[in-house]
Structure 1
């Protein structure tokens, strides 16, 4: 009987997908101190650690997640009030994202070519979901707008003293998504759990990215640089 139970346990462990813990997120996220949470892994080559990521604009995050933004047309009655409401209606106001820079995209391709395919073509995207907008704003003032991959663990993850994190990882073709839920040490629950669930579900449903030029999942988007709309309603 004991041998059968051991075999059953081993079978369950073997068939468990590494993303199963994130495909069905629950209210009991596994939070750890920022000093203990698992960071990012990248190649040992110096050039790979030098690849940079930059802070994404809110609309870039929505496009990356294929999440439709709420963008009602403004009326002429109270333009100022409507514009403020539209800004507040953007999803995930407590989330900060980092995307690979154009340099990183080009360097990945060049490194892969120079090493005859032995280099890496894996890009990394980071999303930090904070428990409050106030916490996000405070951290954004400290974090640099652009940072090398080699400094991410030290400055963006280990550098958050007095914080706890829950980590989620997804591989989507040439892009690996790292999602971190961040709260103060001693906090109960996670006040932005709904946003976190929506982000995790969006990442789970994304199709694999086949190349770096398709990063924002838009047919006419040839680079990851954000291009604002030409015409805007006033």
Structure 2
């Protein structure tokens, strides 16, 4: 009985002290004014701090993804960049880790083939992780290989059709995987994708490299380029910009 007598008043005292301490806070105690976020405005719908990767005039930001590098050999016409079949993938000269990426793409004007053989291209994050580009107008294929998928890993949350002008938009928010100094994986990459404004990947974990055959691989790496894929189809791109985060 004596233990119960001393413990209960002590518990009441603690609760009372906590309540009293809470009431001593003022609004300004939980307000801070620095560091201030940078000011970003929109210029023609593009954030003022974005890096323009393709604005319709040249491929100065790009090079061949071949072993010897060299000039990016795709076609520019009417401010639109189009795959030149058999010329190979192209990649940004600059490399990135975490970023916000915007691009617009369009399937070939003349529809040919079916499944993975129709309007196929891709956007590789850090040159390793592919976001699929594919003509998805009445074109059945495996769901983790359709437009908006993390290729051969995660299907999109929704199948989004082309806009009336046949152009698609991808807005990609990407967090790169992290490795320690010994190359041991600390955290996998993650990606959020809006396809024509519709959420199709929601902070989705990327399991590893994009593999056509077999399972994803975990390879230690640092910053990497954005790569656009030449899959042999006349897929077009425009308005490509990126914001390192």
State the TM-score, normalized to the length of structure 1: 0.25
Higher Cα Rg, which structure = 2
State the TM-score, normalized to the length of structure 2: 0.24
The answer to which structure has the higher helix fraction is: 1
